[in-house]
Amino acid sequence: MFPNWAKNILFLLVYMISGLILAIIIEGLTSGSDLTPLNTVVQGLIVSLRTPLVTTLVVFLTQFGNPFVLACVALLIAVILFVRGNAYDAALFLAAMGVALVSLTVLKNFFQISRPVSDVYKAEGWSFPSGHATIATAFFFMICVTFFNKLKTIQSRVILIVASVIGTLIICFTRLYLGAHWALDVLAGIALGVLSVSFTVLLFSIFLEGNRSLRKKLNL
């Protein structure tokens, strides 16, 4: 749909914006700036929304955003793409998810920020950034990247994008609702997921898209 140079510019802009947002959040956390009180404000608003019925539903929904579950689904999609002769998209999907997982692990262990105290849900591990938000964002972003041009109508493409955004937001909301993460954890996770995908797409586009013979070999 777009020439390669236009796609590269678009993803470069996305990469730069998401990277800037992540950098601002990290700087705010490390310097104790005015960003930090946002965590308390959002948590207070979320707590006021809790009811037993909604909590039960949210606990069920958050399981769909589990990084392990989404990683398994991503692997299944990659296998299907490969079997159908589209090894390039399969490799891109797995690489983007891999970059997100590695980046997430590095940041969690580097900052080692404790989770908020929650009386409705018990989560393990460090809080920043949100693993659910990171992997869900990367997963649904890659769904759009992979299947956008495969859809023939504008309506179907719009549905794909809207459904992906809604899916990501639902997973992110569940982490806030359950008190598993601070607001900045989730925002950083979204930024990291977008950053990981845009970075991977740019690398593939620069080093593989221009090499027609190599890409042709991948898609045999």
**Buried (b) or exposed (e) across 65-102, using 16+ Cβ within 10 A?**
bebeebbeebeebbeebbeeebbbbbbbbbbbbebbbe
Residue 214 confidence (pLDDT) above 90: no
The pLDDT value recorded for residue 219 is 55
Question: Which tens digits make up the pLDDT trace of 9-60?
Answer: 889 999 999 999 999 999 888 776 666 777 778 888 888 888 889 889 998 9
- Mean predicted confidence (pLDDT) in 87-95: 93
3-state secondary structure of 180: coil
Counting beta carbons within 10 angstroms of the beta carbon of residue 141, is it exposed (0 to 12), middle (13 to 18) or buried (19 or more)? buried
Cα(55)–Cα(190) distance, rounded to whole angstroms? 23
The pLDDT value recorded for residue 216 is 54
Average pLDDT taken over every residue of the chain: 87
32: its two tokens: 């104790």
170: its two tokens: 């639902």
Assign residue 126 a region: left if phi > 0, alpha if psi is -120 to 50, beta otherwise? beta
pTM, to two decimals: 0.88
Q: Going by C-beta distance under 8 Å and a sequence separation of 6 or more, which residues neighbour residue 197?
A: 96, 99, 100, 137, 138, 141, 142, 145
Helices then strands, each counted (H, E), the chain: 9, 0
Cα(131)–Cα(125) distance, rounded to whole angstroms? 10
Domain total in the chain: 1
The pLDDT value recorded for residue 32 is 67
The pLDDT value recorded for residue 49 is 82
Percent of the chain with pLDDT over 70: 91
Range of the domain at 143: 4-218
Confidence grade of residue 220 (pLDDT, cut at 50, 70, 90)? very low
DSSP one-letter code for 2? -
215 versus 10: the higher-pLDDT residue is 10
Q: At what angle do helices 52-62 and 154-177 cross, to 10 degrees?
A: 120
Cα(184)–Cα(165) distance, rounded to whole angstroms? 19
Contact assessment for residue 109 and residue 149, using Cβ atoms and an 8 Å cutoff:
no
R_g of the chain, CA atoms, integer Å: 18
Question: Which tens digits make up the pLDDT trace of 127-183?
Answer: 899 999 999 999 999 999 999 888 889 999 999 999 999 999 999 999 999 988 888
Q: CATH code at 87?
A: 1.20.144
